[in-house]
Amino acid sequence: MSSDHDLPTNAGTPRALAADTMVDEPPDGRLPSSERSNAPDVEAKPRTLAPRTYAERYAVRRDLGAGGMGVVRLAYDTATGREVAVKEMLAEGATRRLARDRFVREAQVQAQLEHPGVVPVYDLGVTPDGQPYFTMRRVRGTTLAEALSALREGSEDAAERFPRRKLLSVIERVSETIAYAHSRGVVHRDLKPANVMLGDFGEVSVLDWGIAKLRSDSDLSDPTTGEDEPVPEYTVPGTVVGTAGYMAPEQASGQEVDARADVYSLGAMLFEAVALSPLHSGSSNERIRSTFEGVDARPSLRVDDDVPAALDAICVRATKVLPRERYEDASALLSDLRAFLDGARVSELRREVAGQHAEAARRSLAGKPSASETTRVAALRELGAAAVLDPDNPEMARMIEQLLEPEPAEGELPREVAAELEDGRRLLASRAAGRSAIAYAVALSAVPIFAWMGVRMDGVVAAFAGLLALAAIGAAVMWRTQRATGTIALASLPFAFGTVSLLSLLFAPFFVVPSLAISTSVAFMVSVRASWRMRGAINACAGLSVAIPWVLMELDVIPKGYRFTEGMIQLLPNLVELPPLPTTVLVLFTSLFVVYIPNTLVGRAVEELRRAERRRVLVSHRLRSMLPGARRAALST
């Protein structure tokens, strides 16, 4: 059917047939009461079957549509008791032989294409007035053109009835029908949304075969006796038949066409079904010019939604300007489209199952602001299954991250996780103990400096050296055995801080000693798993290493290590002599020790923390890489 009024036509087919065959139908599918009263009583006793004339068999009710060469009427078939559509040739066309032949060809071609997507023809004959007619199934439903128009207007009902997957299925069904026609040597030549009817129960029918062309290799019978060229009464040689915006460039230029012309039309319809806008727009001349020049036929450029690249590729190939670059026929296009849809259907099923897993996770967490670890693990398992099926879903990725991020209380850790965490802490503590052993060994090297300075209390210096040696040995044992536990560390605290206290006899309790106590505290803090009890013990020992010597000095239990004279405080060297050079070396050594050792220990601890942070961020990154939706979820928040 030539439905574009800006183009000349030789079809002579009723323009409003596709749409009008579905209108004015009561909701229950019954005839209006005014017409039903005149209808024969089909429930009466059986009649004797006998040949009937046109007037006897068909009770014409009203016109459904009219075109340049024919009219379509709703009629009641008294022989079968059903409603039919009667297409009757107009009187002025019935007198022209070729016009009559083409009318009959339309009926016979449509009748011989026995496919669910082609409206069946029931009868072919001549009216009492001599006009050819044929009857066919009454088509009810909505045209694809109407559905697309409603979607463009934002109809919520249309959006619910015709989602993209439904529209793609419609194009698949149309392609199946046209592939069948091509296999029978028939080219439709006027494929467009207005010629596709969507039934109320999933039927998809391709309408209006009025300008269909039979190839020379067609196995269908052709009642026409002349060439497949129209006569001057309806068009002239080279006249364009088809619809601007949907017909192929070679068809728009009046050239001979084959199955690839229908392929172009199918590609244009597929594009429109995805983009919800025509491939070519504007006036007829503008659409024709756009058809000749070619346009970028990727629907993804017209819509904000994600359009799969495979769908873009099908549209592009089907609408190439040069026929040789298109699919060779509808069957080839259908193969690619079906492969895409099969994958899409599998993906949809996967998303549906993934949604069920995600819903199970939500139910397990519902009303539980601080879910137990068992509940959390169960939810993660459901979400893990969902993520495998639908990795692009940002909501599921967000839920997984939320479940992974919160840190549970120590007692809530699963046994295997707690054991793994304990092994990691023990390894880090043993490494820190090894560094502490080196620090104590370095401190032990100060004993020869005491001898150089001149020892006054041999027993105290010996005790100092012994305590340092024991602390170094204890730290080394913890390093080697990887047993830097709280119990062992607690037992070594008196040795370490006792060593610090003895230096009060050299520098007095208020000088150098506090710095050494801090250094020792830092060493213990980073060497063991310092719980709040352990931290309390370390802080207490550090404070006592300064306070106890001061109290003993104030009580004259040990010699006082300082005195105040004329506004100055003097250090009293009770442990060793204080000659200038050895004393300067000892003070420099002690100062460097106090500066370097804490920085080294703390720096290594911070480095371990940084590594842990890097591992956490890396795990999070890999999670987002595994679940692409997590990236969008992170950006949206």
Q: Are 573 and 579 in contact (CB under 8 A)?
A: no
Q: How far is CA 476 from CA 73, 160, 481, 522, in A?
A: 105, 74, 9, 17
Q: Which two tokens stand for residue 134?
A: 């044929």
Measured CA to CA, the distance from residue 39 to residue 154 in angstroms comes to 42
C-alpha 354: how far from its chain's center? 12
The secondary structure of 32-84, three-state, reads CHHHHCCCCCCCCCCCCCCCCCHHHHEEEEEEEEEECCEEEEEEEECCCCEEE
Q: Which two tokens stand for residue 269?
A: 């319809």
Structure tokens at 493: 């605290």
**Are 230 and 98 a contacting pair, CB within 8 Å?**
yes
Give backbone dihedrals phi and psi of 241, rounded to 5 degrees, phi first: -120, 140
**What does R_g of the chain's alpha carbons equal in angstroms?**
47
Please give the Cα distance from 181 to 335 (Å, whole number).
16
Q: Which of 252, 249, 110, 267 is nearest to 191 (CA)?
A: 267
Distance between CA 485 and CA 533 in Å, rounded?
13
Distances (CA, A) of 135 to 138, 196, 248: 9, 19, 31
Q: Which strands sit side by side in the sheet containing 121-126, from one edge to the other?
A: 58-66, 70-77, 82-89, 132-137, 121-126
Residues in the chain: 637
Q: What element of type H or E holds 36?
A: helix 33-36
Distance of CA 409 to the CA centre of its chain: 34
Nearest to 558 by CA among 511, 505, 509, 513: 505
Catalytically active residues are 190
SS (H, E, C) 475-520: HHHHHHHCCCCHHHHHHHHHHHHHHHHHCHHHHCCCCCHHHHHHHH
- φ, ψ dihedrals at 121, nearest 5°: -95, 130
Q: Which residues contact 3 (CB under 8 A, 6 or more apart)?
A: 15, 18, 190, 192, 194, 195, 243
Q: How many CB atoms lie within 10 A of CB 180?
A: 19
